[in-house]
Chains A and B, each alone.
Chain A
Amino acid sequence: MDSNAVLQKIKDRNQSFGEWAFKLIVPIVFIGLCGIGYHFSELPFIFVLNEVIIRLARNSFLVISLIIPVIAGMGLNFGIVLGAMAGQIALIFIANYSLEGLGGLLIAVLVSTPVAIVFGYLVGLVLNKAKGKEMITSMILGFFANGLYQLVFLLFAGTIIPFKKEGLLLSTGVGLRNSVDLAGVRYALDDIYKYRPDAFPMLTIPVVTLLVVALLCVTLTFFTKTKLGQEMRAVGQNMHIAQVAGINVDRTRIMAVIISTVLAAWGQIIFLQNIGTLNTYGSHEQVGLFAVASLLIGGASVSKATYKQALLGTFLFHMLFIISPMAGQNIMNDSQIGEFFRVFVAYGVIGLALLLHAWQSKGKKQSLKSS
């Protein structure tokens, strides 16, 4: 039947050019940048590789936590900041009770989960009231929650919330110290098994942490093939049609945010067990920014993201992070330039992605009108 041939043509031209371009061009540009930066930084290859692997292990989980809201059509969830806060609350909890080692870390995970579920639920409620403006709303919500978080730990810690362990509170007895030492759980996950290839003495690979990330990727793939995953995809594509088909749109969206928030909480715990100290009032602030930038650099867009893009993006973004100060130093004789440059890259790539997305979706709307 010849109509089938026509249909095939339709199938082929289905992918819109803009999306395709962003998917490929952005990673290619950043691969190029990384290559140039690496060349000028004059850093040894093994050193860079080692650093990148460490950062890949500790950051990917957070980046991947962004994917599900994208699938559910809610864009980039800057609200993962709240998830990071849940993770930090759990870490402060175990630090207070001096829980250590892998057991302590698991308890932190257990404690963070219900907190993150509550946070995620609240974020979901707010975002359902701001449909179509989820990204800016989740971002402002992150700032707002940050204020509340500071209020709690500056004013209530030591007064309303009792603290057991000495040295956690400020000398006045009110308010948490600026940094919390996480020595007890430091490398609890990373150190289970570290692979050190004989050929490269400088290389250490935190195998278990990477396995956890791999497991998350597998679970995510599995999840998209479940009933709930399918519902999220449907809601993400068209809320109205999903509603008519009997899917509870608001509930599905809340579920997506909850999952994202819980994953972010776990991701922040993994991140901080590697860092080893918790900057009480600062560790979470940039989580949303850096995770979103990483995802986008991997070629994801506001409406489409996969774990492969998350991993590639994390790799490239952190590569840039490692090499840019040295590259700046060597090219411009100023390491600050490199530092400013990578912050600019983070903001710029998000701005660009949002711009392209808004541009495209407007184009789509117009073409619908004229059809």
Chain B
Amino acid sequence: MEDLKNFIDKVGYPRLIIGGFLLILCILAAVLAIPIPGLLGDILTRVGMNGILVLAMVPAIQAGAGLNFALPLGIVCGLIGALISIEFKLGGFTGFITALLVAIPLSAIAGYFYGQMLNRIKGQEMTVGTYVGFSVVSGMCIFWLLAPFRSPELIWAYGGTGLRVTVSLESTIDKVLNNFLSFSIAGVRVPTGLLAFFALCCFAVWLFGKTKSGAIMNAAGANEKFAIATGINVNQQRILGIVLSTVLAAIGIIVYSQSFGFLQLYNAPLYSAFPAVAAVLIGGASIKKATISHVIIGTFLFQALLVVSLPVINILADGSMSEVIRIIISNGIILYALTRKTGGDLT
């Protein structure tokens, strides 16, 4: 009994429940004779395309600013970067890298100002962040409508005002990473470039944690009073964390979009923070602590669950149930994290 409790404590309820649920779904999938290689390929792709957005949570949590619900802030910067690269008709890796080069400074600036703001409202970062994210997305809707883009890829074919709701990337950066060194093994398509890029980002964040500034930022986030007593400028460290998080979000959406094949504008990024938040929590992170392993485990569990549940539920019940399950799981996990005692330390 004691061992069981220790085990649960160590693994944590979120991982245990989601893991168990996934296991049941896998058994069901096997019973229903759903082709496994296809599912595996899907899981790999989706882990790669969502992973960086989840990774964006890590610096914010480590710097003590909690879950970054203002992820859309970075996302719109990433979208702008991608749009500009398309506007200049840049395709392939050139287009991808141009998109990054435009998006990174933009998101760093946005993150800097957002970080300044968060420093004035310590303890309420998540509530305010959520609505900052919403406001940015809805404000950008007006921007998309008025933005001076001319490329026919971007604007409506029949000449209406503003950008399209979804922009196809087929002729530009569609799947540049996914197809890079991609190969098939036993029917499973491995998106090597995508996974490698995700791994690279993870490694960069991990490496940052090993630098002096990374260690200092972690200390500032773990215990503000301690940090002050150690002569650390806590506010500066928090801004650093937010900037990194916002930049990663911008990179994340570009990677996501190239894999998805479309840029989704207007209201599409509205709830984009929630799956990322849920994934990192499922991985075992808390409002105060997150590591790279949480990101990888969480993204894998969450995406695997979605991938496997779709065909299973399609056979057993209505297709829209998969979306419903996603809503319940992601919000349920966030709710769990918010109501945990240890989660209260932030305020």
Query: Are A and B in direct contact (Cβ within 8 Å)?
Result: yes
Interface residue ranges, A against B (CB under 8 Å) = 126, 129-133, 135-137, 139-141, 143-144, 146-148, 150-151, 154-155, 172, 174-175, 332-334, 336-337, 340-341, 343-344, 346-348, 350-351, 354-355, 357-359, 361-362
Residues in B neighbouring A340, C-beta threshold 8 A: 138, 141-142, 145
- Taking a contact as CB atoms under 8 Å apart, the answer to whether B332 and A144 are in contact is yes
- Taking a contact as CB atoms under 8 Å apart, the answer to whether B128 and A148 are in contact is no
Q: Does B320 contact A (CB under 8 A)?
A: yes
- Taking a contact as CB atoms under 8 Å apart, the answer to whether A136 and B338 are in contact is yes
Q: Which 9 A-B pairs have the closest CB atoms?
A: A358-B121, A351-B131, A358-B124, A147-B328, A147-B327, A144-B331, A129-B339, A132-B347, A340-B141
Q: Does B117 contact A (CB under 8 A)?
A: yes
Which of B318, B325, B334 contacts A175 (CB under 8 A)?
A: B318
Residues in B neighbouring A362, C-beta threshold 8 A: 120-124
A131 to B145, CA, bound (A): 41
A242 to B325, CA, bound (A): 41
Within the complex, the shortest CB–CB distance from B158 to chain A, in Å, comes to: 14
Within 8 A of A (CB), among B143-159: 145-146
A143 to B332, CA, bound (A): 9
- Taking a contact as CB atoms under 8 Å apart, the answer to whether A143 and B274 are in contact is yes
Known: A144-B327, A155-B321, A351-B134. 15 other contacts (CB 8 A): A126-B335, A133-B347, A139-B130, A144-B335, A148-B328, A154-B318, A172-B318, A333-B161, A334-B145, A341-B142, A354-B124, A354-B131, A362-B120, A362-B122, A362-B123
Residues in A neighbouring B132, C-beta threshold 8 A: 351, 355
Residues in A neighbouring B139, C-beta threshold 8 A: 344, 348
Which of A139, A154, A354 contacts B320 (CB under 8 A)?
A: A154
Residues in A neighbouring B328, C-beta threshold 8 A: 144, 147-148, 151
- The residue among A346, A347, A354 with the most chain B CB atoms within 10 A of its own CB is A347
Instruction: Give 12 pairs: A residue, B residue, CB < 8 Å, sorted on A.
Output: A133-B127, A133-B344, A136-B130, A143-B327, A155-B317, A336-B161, A350-B134, A351-B131, A351-B134, A354-B124, A354-B131, A358-B121
Residues in A neighbouring B120, C-beta threshold 8 A: 358-359, 362
Interface size class of B (residues with CB under 8 A): 35 or more
Specify the chain B residue showing the minimal Cβ separation from A340: B141
Residues in B neighbouring A336, C-beta threshold 8 A: 145, 161-162
- Taking a contact as CB atoms under 8 Å apart, the answer to whether A130 and B338 are in contact is yes
A171 to B182, CA, bound (A): 44
Do A337 and B126 form a contact, CB below 8 Å, given A130-B338, A355-B117? no
Residues in B neighbouring A136, C-beta threshold 8 A: 69, 126-127, 130, 338
Looking at chain B's contact residues, the main secondary structure is helix
A358 to B347, CA, bound (A): 11
- Taking a contact as CB atoms under 8 Å apart, the answer to whether A146 and B327 are in contact is yes
Which of B128, B161, B325, B331 contacts A358 (CB under 8 A)?
A: B128
Question: Per-residue 0/1 for B33-71: is the Cβ within 8 Å of any A Cβ (1 yes, 0 no)?
Answer: 000000000000000000000000000000000000100
A150 to B322, CA, bound (A): 11
Residues in A neighbouring B69, C-beta threshold 8 A: 136
Do A354 and B123 form a contact, CB below 8 Å, given A129-B339, A141-B335? no
- Taking a contact as CB atoms under 8 Å apart, the answer to whether A155 and B318 are in contact is yes
- Taking a contact as CB atoms under 8 Å apart, the answer to whether B145 and A337 are in contact is yes
Within the complex, the shortest CB–CB distance from A301 to chain B, in Å, comes to: 14
A268 to B321, CA, bound (A): 26
- The residue among B146, B338, B343 with the most chain A CB atoms within 10 A of its own CB is B338
A277 to B68, CA, bound (A): 38
Residues in A neighbouring B121, C-beta threshold 8 A: 355, 358-359, 362
Within 8 A of A (CB), among B59-96: 69
Residues in B neighbouring A126, C-beta threshold 8 A: 335, 339
- Taking a contact as CB atoms under 8 Å apart, the answer to whether B126 and A133 are in contact is yes
Within the complex, the shortest CB–CB distance from A353 to chain B, in Å, comes to: 9
Q: Does B27 contact A (CB under 8 A)?
A: no
Question: Per-residue 0/1 for B291-333: is the Cβ within 8 Å of any A Cβ (1 yes, 0 no)?
Answer: 0000000000000000000000000011011001101100110
A288 to B338, CA, bound (A): 20
Q: Does B135 contact A (CB under 8 A)?
A: yes
Residues in A neighbouring B123, C-beta threshold 8 A: 132, 358, 362
A147 to B328, CA, bound (A): 5
Which of B135, B146, B318, B325 contacts A348 (CB under 8 A)?
A: B135
Residues in B neighbouring A130, C-beta threshold 8 A: 338-339, 343-344
Specify the chain B residue showing the minimal Cβ separation from A76: B127
- The residue among B320, B328, B343 with the most chain A CB atoms within 10 A of its own CB is B328
Specify the chain B residue showing the minimal Cβ separation from A354: B128
Which of A175, A344, A359, A361 contacts B135 (CB under 8 A)?
A: A344
Within the complex, the shortest CB–CB distance from A253 to chain B, in Å, comes to: 14
Residues in A neighbouring B331, C-beta threshold 8 A: 140-141, 143-144, 147
Residues in A neighbouring B128, C-beta threshold 8 A: 351, 354-355, 358
Residues in A neighbouring B138, C-beta threshold 8 A: 340, 343-344, 346-348
A139 to B331, CA, bound (A): 10
A129 to B341, CA, bound (A): 8
A154 to B127, CA, bound (A): 31
A139 to B328, CA, bound (A): 13
- Taking a contact as CB atoms under 8 Å apart, the answer to whether A154 and B321 are in contact is yes
Which of B130, B142, B327 contacts A344 (CB under 8 A)?
A: B142
A115 to B130, CA, bound (A): 29
Specify the chain A residue showing the minimal Cβ separation from B117: A355
Which of A129, A150, A347 contacts B324 (CB under 8 A)?
A: A150
Which of B325, B335, B344 contacts A131 (CB under 8 A)?
A: B344
Specify the chain A residue showing the minimal Cβ separation from B324: A150
Within the complex, the shortest CB–CB distance from A62 to chain B, in Å, comes to: 19
